[in-house]
Structure 1
Amino acid sequence: MGFSTFTARSRGHLLLTALLLAGTAVGTVPSIAEAQSAATRIDIPAQPLDAAIRALMRATGAQITYPADLSANRQSSAVAGTFGTVEALSHLLAGTGLAYRQTGAHAFTLEPAPAASGHAVQLGPVRVAGEEGGPVSPTSDPAATEGSGSYAMLHPSRTATRMGLSIRETPQSVSVVTRQQIDDLALTDLPQVLDRVPGITVGRNDSERFTFYSRGFEVENVQFDGVPNTVDAASQYTTTLADSAVYDRVEVVKGATGLLTGAGYPSATINLVRKRPARDFQASAEVSGGSWDRYRGVADVSAPLAAEGRIRARVVAAVQNAGSYVNYYSRNMRNVYGIVEGDLGPRTTLSAGVDYMTTRAKGSSFGHIPLFYSDGTRTDFDRSFNPAARWAYWNNESTNIFASLKHEWGQDWKLDLAASHLRQTRDALFGSAYYGQVDKATGAGIRMLSGYIPNQATTNAVNLAVTGGFDLLGHRHELMLNGTFSRQDRASQQYASVFTTIDNYFQWNGNAAQPSFTKSFDRDTRTHEKGLAAAIRLRPAERLSVIGGARVSWYSLYDGNRYVSDGSLSVSDDLHINGKVTPYAGVVYDVMPHWSLYGSYTDIFRPQTYYKYGNGSPLAPLTGQSLEAGIKGAVLQDRLNVSLALFRIRQNNYAQMDGGITPQGDESYIAVSGITSKGVELELSGSIAKDWNIYGGYTYRTSKMPPQPDVILSAVNTNQPEHLLKMSTSYRLPAALRRLTVGGSLSWQSSTYYQQSGSPYFRADQPAYALVGLMMRYAFDNGLSLSANINNLFDKTYMPGLGSYGTGVYGDPRSFLISAKYRF
């Protein structure tokens, strides 16, 4: 490749030192051998090798990687006693015919032993190869999917309970989009990633705003590397446009998740897990080009900054300029992520980094195409129609500074302390011609709504988790303690909106005069949330595990307006919720070595102070309870995860307009209880054969509201499909065609509709539709690969998520993306 080892590492040192100030000394760090000297109590019976290795990783915190087919039909030896990681691994592999190489302080890779031996053999250091043969070095994240070549989560996840349970051990539905799937399908932003998750739908409100739904309810709860962060209505626009280049994987836990996240909807939690530095030098560069003048470049460099990777760093940069099928609309994105990580000791790791993103959109809409003509029939504007004024823009900026300290004691005890400082700004000037209904004959009836909506938000968050195991009555049990604190300060400058009449909407081309805007008041919103959670996982029998826990939350919100005209202060909300308890319970029973039955009850709450009764007092918090039961399996030598879940969610204190007015002049609401969403979900992820990945599932969901005076509103979540099917696959061809990988995706959903809540109750229907995508990649032997992706192959016209402001947004027409990637 034209680089010696010294040259490649030297260049990596120079680049990362300049970008990350990585020359700061971390301290004296012991050698790899010293790092593995601490002993841990281990009790792993003889069993299939895959399961035994997972148990060893949970017990020691080590990362053990190997090709998926290497463990097939191999049985481990029993390990019982107090051992260091190296000694335990040697015992585990005895008689398997496998050897191990130690590639880092806590990292190992397995391969066939060079000669027959009754004991495991330790080989020299080696680098792990990814699916296409590119070098992928182990990182400090034991659950990392990068380089695995798989669509399955092969290691435990901490998103649901923080206990580091496998998907089969977790009594909730857990979906994971791995790095391999992100790369195969060219999923470049968060909406595209979540659009591949079974049971998740992605609604489009206008050109900039997306809303995610799970099991009929909106998803607000987002974690960054496990640290909670609420994506509220005012600051979601930056997070939802996040570029995927910086993430190793995206995990989604479905249902109520109040144990770790506190406030939110009973829908799901999204955990965005960033890439970690590798212990050896590795780098890649990728350029792409596609439909509508879309050009993209990604650079990813990781390098050790001290011997044996004791100090290491990584930088990921992504740049994208893109036009659109929508007239005179474009959005450019810049994303830079950098992290430095160091081993302070054999079991202590400190890391710090920054994630910066900015987007610049021109011709952006606020609300989109009106759905109805004045006679109630559907409009039929072209997909390229843009209701936005040409001077409209929407700019977002986000800076997330974060740090974490991880420490491991003996007996599986771990401490994880993480903190982040997130600043998000929005600078948006909008003018959208959508307000009203179009007269078919004259084009009259539409007004352009214009406004200026700047916003600045700062969120500081701290999360402390302690987890560990203990022996009691002959079995191993686990305990989790978690404390969280977050504070968000949001300032926004409120300007009076302006309406402009459009004489003939059929002649609209975006050339409208820009009005002037008058500032009305400054709005100050402060949200504080604290929580303490505890959970215990007991194993009263070898095959049975029971999880019980609860979180106690303290929540406060202040919302005040300072008026420009006279300097007066008006306080809309000053809410305090103290000691709110959200319980968690789950049970898992292993009916066979690779199959488990499970059930769970989870809870969550969400303050809703913006909704007021007729007397002006706020509605009580929205509450959501989730019941889930099902079966999970890990089959085909644990290469394929399979699950079937039955779920039922009940929501109380749902806000419904009652037609009245509060003393402050706002619309008044009443609280409705008993809204239910129930259904069934089937999911599978992993490999069904060597080099054949598959991921997807089917969801059936129905939602109902108790009978109300207004029967039109008795159906809820009608813009979400009852039936949803998603599948993705890739296959690397055998023999002489092994360098070629082909695959694709399929999604199908049943019909949806939007109906006006007031007279004349116009209704817009979206018939059922299917979308097909194709992919192909060819890997050369010098680290270069070429890829092609086609989305919406049959050019289906559809609207995902009807009804935002009575408008609709078309989904993307057929498009293509060609990419070239080089791994150094």
Structure 2
Amino acid sequence: MTISDRRRSSASRQTQGFLALSCVGSIGLAAPLLAQAAPPATPEKGTELEGVTVTDTAITEGSYKTESASNPKYTAPLINTPRTVTVIPAQVIHDTASATLQEALRTVPGITMGAGEGGNPLGDRPFIRGFDSQASTYLDGVRDIGAQTREVFAVEQIEVVKGADSVVGGRGSAGGSLNLVSKMPTATRSASASLTGGNANYKRITVDVNQPLNDFVGVRIAGMWHDQDVAGRDAIWQKRWGVEPSVKLGLNGPTSATLSFYHLETNELPDSGIPYLFTAANVPNGITETSPARNFTTIGGRQVSVPQGAFYGLKDRDFRKTNVNNATLRFEHDFGNNIKIRNTSRYGRSTQGYVWTQPDDQQGNVYGTNAASPATAGGYVWRRTNTRWSEAEGLINQSDVYGTFETAGIKHSFTASAEISYEKAQNGTYVADAGTGAVIASGSTSTPRCTPAMIARYNCTTIDTPNPSDPWVSYATDTTTGLASIQRSLPQTWTITDTSTKAASFFDTVTFTDWLLLNIGGRYDHYKTSVSPGIAVTAAPSTARTTFGREDDLWTYQAGLIVKPTPDTSVYVSTSSSATPPGSFLAQGQDGNAIATTTQAATDALKVEKTKSYEVGAKANLFDGNLSLTGALFKTDTSNARTTVENGLVAYIGKRKIKGVEIGFNGNITPEWNIFGGYTYMDSKIADGGITTTTNTTTGAVAFAPSVNTGKQFPNTPKHSFTTFTNYKITPKFTLGGGAIYMAKVYGGYSDTRVLSNTGVLSITKPLARMVQAYWRFDANASYQLTDRIGLQLNVNNLTDKRYYDKAYAAHYANQAAGRTVLGTVNLRY
């Protein structure tokens, strides 16, 4: 299938998706059930067992405050939970006009988004307290696998847990985890629809209909259609549609069964970002940091100004498509004596495919490497192709028994869980010829990259005047004129990864007195994983795959002591752990401890990376419980991190440390005034990054020196971050609000050029850190309720049209954020 065929096929599916959502809307209108996406309908408050909510999360309409997390493994309300947990409620998602998980997470300090490329796929890559949490995202308490960009049209709230958290969800979660809570049927009839339009051709429709058919059966359907360009960025566009129908039998209990199906399909021209100005090979003396190219003079003396909209991708080549499907069945039963049981089964499958331009790939064409040669004097960008095709699927079953009991005057709020899961991922690439595995011809065989021939083939473009409509042609090679269609690589070349988990856990909040509580939890995982590398296209048909695998037994824990000076305050001290075994990312992210694919001996030598977190904090509910204030001091240590040592050997001596302060606030100061946000300070350090080996190519002598990473700040970990979002109801119908975000400097990665002289002198020259500068961003919003059923909303995101970068990759490029985006929404409710 050619690229144009794929685009036509995608356009057809987009049309089908729009028609499907039109049908959803027609059903809702015929009911007649039209409503708003905000303020959201209020689900029924769950049954409380001695302070812990064990069914639907309690959500107050119009409030920025949430009392408890939805996962029963959190066995106490948030004020009595001895760790930092931030819940982003539906009202905040609505008021900030967030459409994706990434947009919603911008409201929480201490979280940055990482960029992707080929080996680390495009998609959601949140860093929590300095650690990649791409593989630590959960949906309704169950792991959500596969690299993807998540939507929020079917999300009730988002729960962010900070600190080592393997005890709750299993492997990984070294810095924390995310849990998305789905919209499910409730006994309260409601319906809503939102129609949004804005600059950059922004168009979005969402529908949410919740209809109890009788006292026993309830149905709910949420749907979304989205189409937009990106403000301030040339050529880029995004299209997607999704739907989530669900039905609940036993709407009012005590026994119920809920069946839901989630489908999301996306199609976009992905952003290729802005290349860093310098590389370690061409950085001028005295410069130790490089940021994305903007206003500079090339090595050849040309003045360059990179426009805000500069896009280095190609409309005739680049694409990204994802397809996500999740089917979930949940049984629940209330035994009537403060004990409940639930069982959740989910089958999930997601696919992602893209051909995407990565600008320049550290080739030095931006600044230049040789002023005397036009091809190397700077001012160019090489359009390297990054390609990936992946499929991830998983089957998981999780049982939870939870409730309360009392012994000898001591109260217990507990949860016991058992889990079994199987996950599989297949990863391949796109090639110019599937039969030979030839790479897409993009100038990679040309040295230097940006010769006149490569410029003529549009494999290179100017840094300041790129044209995404360049008539690029897919040739078979860089030097021939034969054409080649871009195809998915053959199945035999794919890498196949399998993972299975058997786990059991127990959690308990022990109330000794009204002022003294103990929170404990422990988990055991038997984790088994294997990797089978692909076979070359030229291999004989009888060639068998080789599989490398290992098994690990993981023990993790949490413990916290809570003292309550008053019923609405708490002071706590806690500790928790995480375990990140080899292969934790299931080949769906940047796994720092990937399974070795050379020898089984190397695989057996791998170690589990271990992280411990310590936290001291205080929480208070003010103004009759409407406003929550939290504060914490935290420290996280990681050991057994995989590093490279002498002669390129792998060792497990890496250490990372982070400590900091976190302050949070959310809720209502007055009935008219709500606020949400916080501040995070993170002091991070790579305590031991291993050893770098340098070889003299003339004499063959070698020298060893500490890695350039040792002593450096964590990548994707700003020292300071601050967010605040607030709304004030000026009149009963008119609300005015806004938000501010501050992000300190963020590093993407580090490198240097080491030279060993013939006399044995080692010099570490031109160390270079890649980073993006600190920034402030401001948003504004207003809403007016015309009638009880019709409301108008205006959002202006990035009010000052700030030019900033919200993702810093380890090398190559940084992602430039969207410019000023103005959105107008009509909210309908019933």
TM normalised by structure 1 equals 0.78
Q: Is the 8 A contact 1:365 1:392 kept in 2?
A: no
Shift of 1:56: 7.3
Gaps of 5+ in 2: 1-23, 34-43, 285-289, 295-305, 372-376, 432-436, 444-448, 452-459, 476-483, 584-593, 691-704, 754-765
Secondary structure of the residue aligned to 1:259 is helix
Q: Is the 8 A contact 2:109 2:677 kept in 1?
A: yes
Q: CA RMSD in A?
A: 2.9
Q: Is the 8 A contact 1:349 1:407 kept in 2?
A: yes
Q: Is the 8 A contact 2:778 2:798 kept in 1?
A: yes
User: Structure 1 counterpart of 2:137, which letter?
Assistant: V
Matched, 1:565 2:472: no
Shift of 1:726: 0.8
Partner in structure 2 of residue 57 of structure 1: 48
Partner of residue 751 from structure 1, selected from 737, 745, 752: 745
Partner in structure 1 of residue 493 of structure 2: 521
Partner in structure 2 of residue 157 of structure 1: 69
Partner in structure 2 of residue 211 of structure 1: 125
Shift of 1:302: 1.4
In structure 1, C-alpha distance between the alignment counterparts of 2:52 and 2:510, rounded to whole Å: 20
User: Structure 1 counterpart of 2:128, which letter?
Assistant: S
Partner in structure 1 of residue 614 of structure 2: 627
| 1:558-585 CA distance string (max 9 Å, x none) | 11134232242443631111x3211221
In structure 1, C-alpha distance between the alignment counterparts of 2:640 and 2:267, rounded to whole Å: 39
| 1:612-660 CA distance string (max 9 Å, x none) | 5997445311111111111111111011111111111111121233475
Q: Is the 8 A contact 2:113 2:716 kept in 1?
A: no
Q: Is the 8 A contact 1:9 1:281 kept in 2?
A: no
Partner in structure 1 of residue 205 of structure 2: 297
Partner in structure 2 of residue 86 of structure 1: none
Q: Is the 8 A contact 2:51 2:76 kept in 1?
A: no
Partner in structure 2 of residue 121 of structure 1: none
Partner in structure 1 of residue 314 of structure 2: 389
Partner in structure 2 of residue 118 of structure 1: none
Secondary structure of the residue aligned to 1:453 is strand
Q: Is the 8 A contact 1:365 1:432 kept in 2?
A: no
Change (3 A) 1:805 1:764: closer
Matched, 1:480 2:415: yes
Partner of residue 247 from structure 1, selected from 114, 139, 155: 155
Secondary structure of the residue aligned to 2:708 is helix
In structure 1, C-alpha distance between the alignment counterparts of 2:720 and 2:25, rounded to whole Å: 52
Change (3 A) 1:9 1:777: closer
Partner in structure 1 of residue 549 of structure 2: 574
In structure 2, C-alpha distance between the alignment counterparts of 1:713 and 1:375, rounded to whole Å: 18
Change (3 A) 1:11 1:355: closer
User: Structure 1 counterpart of 2:563, which letter?
Assistant: Y
Q: Is the 8 A contact 1:755 1:761 kept in 2?
A: no
Matched, 1:262 2:186: no
Alignment of 1:124-203 (within 5 A): 142-145=56-59, 148-154=61-67, 156-159=68-71, 162-203=73-114
Alignment of 1:238-387 (within 5 A): 238=148, 241-306=149-214, 308=215, 310-324=216-230, 325-343=232-250, 346-362=253-269, 364-365=270-271, 369-372=275-278, 374-375=282-283, 379-380=293-294, 381-387=306-312
Change (3 A) 1:294 1:254: same
In structure 2, C-alpha distance between the alignment counterparts of 1:463 and 1:611, rounded to whole Å: 27
In structure 2, C-alpha distance between the alignment counterparts of 1:718 and 1:583, rounded to whole Å: 27
Alignment of 1:223-242 (within 5 A): 223-230=138-145, 235-236=146-147, 238=148, 241-242=149-150
Partner of residue 467 from structure 1, selected from 385, 389, 402: 402
Q: Is the 8 A contact 1:443 1:505 kept in 2?
A: no
In structure 2, C-alpha distance between the alignment counterparts of 1:753 and 1:216, rounded to whole Å: 11
In structure 1, C-alpha distance between the alignment counterparts of 2:51 and 2:62, rounded to whole Å: 24
Shift of 1:405: 0.9
In structure 2, C-alpha distance between the alignment counterparts of 1:55 and 1:203, rounded to whole Å: 36
Partner in structure 2 of residue 705 of structure 1: 686
Partner in structure 2 of residue 586 of structure 1: 560
Q: Is the 8 A contact 1:214 1:254 kept in 2?
A: yes
Matched, 1:606 2:580: yes
Partner in structure 2 of residue 763 of structure 1: 769
Change (3 A) 1:769 1:492: closer
Secondary structure of the residue aligned to 1:148 is coil
Gaps of 5+ in 1: 1-7, 18-52, 64-140, 662-667
Shift of 1:765: 4.2
| 1:505-552 CA distance string (max 9 Å, x none) | 315424232244665712221111121011232222332111223111
In structure 1, C-alpha distance between the alignment counterparts of 2:171 and 2:428, rounded to whole Å: 26
Q: Is the 8 A contact 1:342 1:351 kept in 2?
A: yes
Matched, 1:450 2:385: yes
In structure 2, C-alpha distance between the alignment counterparts of 1:643 and 1:788, rounded to whole Å: 31
Partner of residue 525 from structure 2, selected from 549, 553, 559: 553
In structure 1, C-alpha distance between the alignment counterparts of 2:199 and 2:314, rounded to whole Å: 23
Change (3 A) 1:425 1:755: closer
TM normalised by structure 2 equals 0.77
Identical positions, percent: 21
Change (3 A) 1:543 1:652: same
Partner in structure 1 of residue 759 of structure 2: none
Q: Is the 8 A contact 2:519 2:560 kept in 1?
A: yes
User: Structure 1 counterpart of 2:581, which letter?
Assistant: P
Shift of 1:250: 0.5
Partner in structure 1 of residue 650 of structure 2: 669
Partner of residue 364 from structure 2, selected from 437, 442, 455: 437
Change (3 A) 1:753 1:492: closer
In structure 1, C-alpha distance between the alignment counterparts of 2:467 and 2:816, rounded to whole Å: 18
Shift of 1:611: 6.0
Q: Is the 8 A contact 1:800 1:809 kept in 2?
A: yes
User: Structure 2 counterpart of 1:599, which letter?
Assistant: V
Q: Is the 8 A contact 1:433 1:502 kept in 2?
A: no
| 1:419-458 CA distance string (max 9 Å, x none) | 1111101122234342222245644775432254222111
| 1:116-165 CA distance string (max 9 Å, x none) | xxxxxxxxxxxxxxxxxxxxxxxxx53143x62100003x3243x62542
In structure 2, C-alpha distance between the alignment counterparts of 1:413 and 1:344, rounded to whole Å: 18
Select the structure with the greater relative contact order (CA < 8 A; seq sep ≥ 6).
2
In structure 2, C-alpha distance between the alignment counterparts of 1:60 and 1:540, rounded to whole Å: 14
Secondary structure of the residue aligned to 1:192 is helix
Partner in structure 2 of residue 409 of structure 1: 335
Partner in structure 2 of residue 69 of structure 1: none
Partner in structure 2 of residue 696 of structure 1: 677
Q: Is the 8 A contact 2:736 2:783 kept in 1?
A: yes
Change (3 A) 1:559 1:205: closer
| 1:12-38 CA distance string (max 9 Å, x none) | 698899xxxxxxxxxxxxxxxxxxxxx
Shift of 1:269: 1.3
Change (3 A) 1:9 1:195: closer
Alignment of 1:79-94 (within 5 A): none
Shift of 1:311: 0.7
Q: How many residues align?
A: 682
User: Structure 1 counterpart of 2:636, which letter?
Assistant: I
Q: Is the 8 A contact 1:205 1:808 kept in 2?
A: no
In structure 2, C-alpha distance between the alignment counterparts of 1:396 and 1:804, rounded to whole Å: 24
User: Structure 2 counterpart of 1:753, which letter?
Assistant: Y
Q: Indicate the larger mover: 54-63 or 242-251.
A: 54-63
In structure 1, C-alpha distance between the alignment counterparts of 2:672 and 2:663, rounded to whole Å: 23
Partner in structure 2 of residue 133 of structure 1: none
Q: Is the 8 A contact 2:45 2:56 kept in 1?
A: no
